[in-house]
């Protein structure tokens, strides 16, 4: 039987999905399963790693049954994952010693404060490209080792293993034969030197993490090991591609050249720009990260995150009840010519890059007696585009590369008003692909390259199909006036604390 399909596993924050992709890069079938979120204390978020594994087994079975495709026809498996979420498990039994600590969880704040106090910020920045923040995996590992009896000693003896979700899934799928991660995930740990491409002894010492528990770091596209037949309908299928979700989306969008960028409009926004084989150190509060390792070399990216994007539209729907469903926002915003000087600064949980101000809160400016629902909705949508310009401007400043086009994906990229305004406020075209499942496609493409379904990146590029290109319609003077107003609004919001 011909092996012509790739199985892509997308292990996300609230659900796991499996998709089967054919040689044309088309999605043949999808299965999805949600799992429980655990909130032990305010600001803490955890997952049961065994439940995540069970959800992965369920979606693999589900998608094969749904599509009537045999496991014998699967050429390889690609994995993309929620990044930074951390699991520590017993090497012998395979059981986690504590829940997985999720990327959003703030429970390691005290460890981060201590690192800042001890003066580690510059060391971490210069070696990892990251900031000291509970977001990243290293402090999560330290927290688990601190809070589980005997864990530190067992880790030092080599009895415990550490991994982000990709590592956990590969270990389970291969029956413990492969304890690995890829460059993109390793670069999110606070423990990996992205310049020397190795686990950094100084960083490990800083957090007192035993090297024995760390996975081997491998390219993002390579046959790592085969599945154990028991977990895959009697078949040994190569696990052949791994990338963290945002890097996978950059790959799935075909952003292979230096200076190409994508924005994923989800709950928040994640912007990544490919900076090629050179790591760009940010002076503007962006992260420097590994994009992927492939063909014997690594490529780097600049990353900026916006905390509130799609969640601002949910707020219009659920909090203010201005729209019945999120998609209605496009209709309301398009009814009027402008927001009439109204600006919404959706800093509900502070502002991310390039401001990094966790104390600022949301604000609305420019209201008059004539302000109606339409202006309010339009101004909220516009805030997503302004924040995107803030981050892209910082990327251009850091890299010296000027953006030619922005590729977009994620839920809010379906909003035509927002995409047109995004193009206008950036002054560059915005391209939306036909297949918005770019994260999954990225994982599939990485695996497919390793097992020969696709020859090279040029062949993959042909499978990126345009749905709509939004050209710039706004005059520069109007663009800059609007953007200046946004900056005034942000400054005013920051003054009110």
Q: What band does 211 get if pLDDT is binned at 50, 70 and 90? A: very high
Together in a domain, 19 and 114:
yes
**Per the annotation, does 442 bind a ligand?**
no
| Count of helix runs (H) and strand runs (E) in the chain | 16, 23
**Per the annotation, does 314 bind a ligand?**
yes
**Per the annotation, does 84 bind a ligand?**
yes
Share of residues in the chain with pLDDT > 70 (%): 100
Together in a domain, 190 and 337:
no
**Per the annotation, does 375 bind a ligand?**
no
Rounded Cα distance, 143 and 101, in Å:
9
Range of weakest confidence among 35-44, 117-126, 135-144, 387-396:
35-44
Rounded Cα distance, 131 and 153, in Å:
28
**Per the annotation, does 234 bind a ligand?**
no
**Per the annotation, does 14 bind a ligand?**
yes
**Per the annotation, does 15 bind a ligand?**
yes
When the pLDDT of each residue in the chain is averaged and rounded to a whole number, the result is: 93
Together in a domain, 279 and 309:
yes
Q: Residue 286 above 90 pLDDT?
A: yes
| Sequence-separated (6 or more) residues with CB below 8 Å from residue 161 | 88, 89, 90, 91, 167, 171, 179, 213, 215
Together in a domain, 404 and 431:
yes
**Per the annotation, does 402 bind a ligand?**
no
| Residue pLDDT, tens place only, 221-260 | 999 999 998 877 788 999 999 999 999 999 999 999 999 9
Together in a domain, 57 and 165:
yes
Q: Residue 3 above 80 pLDDT?
A: no
Q: From residue 302, how far is each of 261, 310, 318, 409 by CA, in Å?
A: 9, 22, 33, 18
Beta 198-199 vs 192-193: how paired, if at all?
antiparallel
Which three-class secondary structure string do you get for 416-450?
Answer: HHHHHHHHHHHCCCEEEECCCCHHHHHHHHHHHHH
Rounded Cα distance, 223 and 45, in Å:
33
| Sequence-separated (6 or more) residues with CB below 8 Å from residue 294 | 219, 220, 221, 446, 449
Rounded Cα distance, 197 and 215, in Å:
13
Q: Are 309 and 384 in contact (CB under 8 A)?
A: yes
Q: What band does 220 get if pLDDT is binned at 50, 70 and 90? A: very high
Beta bridge partners of 466: 433
- CA 104, 107, 108, 112 dihedral sign is positive
Determine the pLDDT at residue 186: 97
Beta bridge partners of 47: 100
290-294 mean pLDDT: 95
- Coil vs helix vs strand at 102: coil
Alpha helices per DSSP H over 174-281: 183-186, 201-207, 245-252
Determine the pLDDT at residue 492: 96
| Sequence-separated (6 or more) residues with CB below 8 Å from residue 27 | 19, 20, 21, 435, 437, 440
Together in a domain, 172 and 282:
no
- Coil vs helix vs strand at 375: helix
Together in a domain, 398 and 268:
yes
Q: Are 443 and 468 in contact (CB under 8 A)?
A: no
142-155 mean pLDDT: 95
**Per the annotation, does 138 bind a ligand?**
no
**Per the annotation, does 246 bind a ligand?**
yes
- What CATH number does residue 120 fall under? 3.30.420.40
Determine the pLDDT at residue 36: 86
**Per the annotation, does 85 bind a ligand?**
no
Last residue of a domain, one of 197, 224, 246: 246
Last residue of a domain, one of 246, 264, 286: 246
Last residue of a domain, one of 215, 246, 277: 246
Structural domain range at position 138: 5-246
| Residue pLDDT, tens place only, 303-342 | 998 888 888 888 999 999 989 988 889 989 999 999 999 9
| Residue pLDDT, tens place only, 443-457 | 999 999 999 999 999
Nearest to 476 by CA among 467, 465, 484, 486: 484
Together in a domain, 165 and 294:
no
Beta bridge partners of 78: 8, 241
Q: What band does 432 get if pLDDT is binned at 50, 70 and 90? A: very high
Q: Using the 8-state DSSP alphabet, how is residue 280 labeled?
A: P
Q: Is the peptide bond before 354 cis (omega within 30 degrees of 0)?
A: yes
**Per the annotation, does 310 bind a ligand?**
yes
Token pair listed for 247: 């890097």
Rounded Cα distance, 403 and 377, in Å:
28
- Residue 101 C-beta-side C-alpha neighbours within 13 Å: 28
3-26 mean pLDDT: 92
Token pair listed for 232: 């895959």
- Sheet of strand 406-409, all strands in order from the earlier edge strand to the far edge: 287-294, 297-306, 269-276, 261-265, 406-409, 430-433, 466-470
**Per the annotation, does 25 bind a ligand?**
no
Together in a domain, 220 and 258:
no
Nearest to 146 by CA among 182, 184, 106, 97: 97
Q: What band does 296 get if pLDDT is binned at 50, 70 and 90? A: confident
Q: Residue 497 above 80 pLDDT?
A: no
| Residue pLDDT, tens place only, 351-387 | 888 888 878 899 999 999 999 999 999 999 999 999 9
- Burial track 456-493 (b if 16+ CB lie within 10 A, e otherwise): eeeebeebbeeeeebebebeeeebeebbebbeebbeeb
**Per the annotation, does 471 bind a ligand?**
no
Rounded Cα distance, 288 and 304, in Å:
9
Share of residues in the chain with pLDDT > 90 (%): 80
Q: What band does 1 get if pLDDT is binned at 50, 70 and 90? A: low
User: What is the tally of structural domains in the chain?
Assistant: 2
- Helical axes 476-495 vs 373-399, angle rounded to 10°: 100
Q: From residue 146, how far is each of 42, 156, 202, 275, 298 by CA, in Å?
A: 20, 13, 19, 37, 34
Together in a domain, 293 and 323:
yes
Radius of gyration of the chain (CA): 22
Together in a domain, 182 and 37:
yes
Together in a domain, 241 and 348:
no
């Amino acid at each position: 039987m011909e092996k012509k399909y790739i199985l892509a596993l997308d292990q996300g924050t609230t659900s796991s999905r499996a998709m089967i992709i054919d040689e044309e890069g088309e999605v043949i079938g999808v299965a999805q399963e949600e799992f429980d979120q655990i909130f032990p204390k305010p600001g803490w978020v955890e997952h049961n790693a065994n439940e995540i594994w069970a959800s992965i087994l369920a979606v693999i079975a589900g998608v094969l049954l749904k599509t009537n495709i045999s496991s014998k026809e699967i050429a390889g498996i690609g994995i993309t994952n929620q990044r930074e979420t951390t699991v520590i498990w017993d090497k012998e039994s395979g059981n986690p010693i504590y829940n997985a600590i999720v990327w959003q969880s703030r429970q390691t704040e005290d460890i981060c404060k201590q690192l800042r106090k001890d003066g580690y910020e510059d060391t971490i920045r210069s070696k990892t490209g990251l900031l000291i923040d509970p977001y990243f995996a290293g402090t999560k590992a330290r927290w688990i080792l601190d809070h589980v009896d005997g864990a530190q000693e067992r880790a030092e003896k080599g009895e415990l293993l550490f991994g982000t979700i990709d590592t956990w899934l590969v270990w389970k799928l291969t029956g413990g034969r492969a304890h690995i991660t890829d460059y993109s995930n390793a670069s999110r740990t606070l423990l990996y030197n992205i310049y020397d491409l190795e686990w950094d002894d100084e960083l490990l010492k800083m957090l007192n993490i035993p090297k024995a528990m760390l996975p081997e770091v491998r390219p993002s596209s390579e046959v790592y090991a085969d599945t154990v037949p028991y977990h895959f309908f009697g078949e040994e299928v190569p696990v052949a591609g791994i990338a963290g979700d945002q890097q996978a989306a950059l790959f799935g969008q075909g952003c292979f050249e230096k200076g190409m960028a994508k924005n994923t409009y989800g709950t928040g926004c994640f912007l990544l720009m490919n900076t090629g084989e050179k790591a760009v150190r940010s002076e503007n509060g962006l992260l420097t990260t590994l994009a992927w390792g492939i063909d014997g070399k690594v490529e780097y990216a600049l990353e900026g995150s916006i905390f509130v994007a799609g969640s601002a539209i949910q707020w219009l729907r659920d909090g203010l009840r201005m729209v019945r469903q999120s998609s209605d926002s496009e209709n309301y915003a398009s009814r009027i010519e402008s927001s009439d000087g109204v600006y919404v600064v959706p800093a509900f949980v502070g502002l991310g890059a390039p401001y990094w101000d966790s104390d600022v809160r949301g604000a609305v400016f420019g209201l008059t007696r004539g302000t109606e629902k339409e202006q309010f909705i339009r101004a909220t949508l516009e805030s997503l585009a302004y924040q995107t310009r803030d981050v892209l401007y910082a990327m251009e400043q850091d890299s010296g590369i000027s953006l030619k086009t922005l590729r977009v994906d994620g839920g809010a990229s379906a909003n035509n008003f927002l995409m047109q305004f995004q193009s206008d406020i950036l002054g560059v075209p915005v391209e939306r692909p036909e297949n918005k499942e770019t994260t999954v496609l990225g994982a599939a493409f990485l695996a497919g390259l390793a097992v020969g379904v696709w020859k090279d990146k040029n062949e993959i590029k042909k499978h990126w199909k345009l749905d709509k290109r939004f050209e710039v319609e706004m005059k520069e003077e109007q663009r800059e006036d609007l953007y200046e107003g946004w900056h005034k609004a942000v400054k005013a919001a920051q003054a009110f604390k």
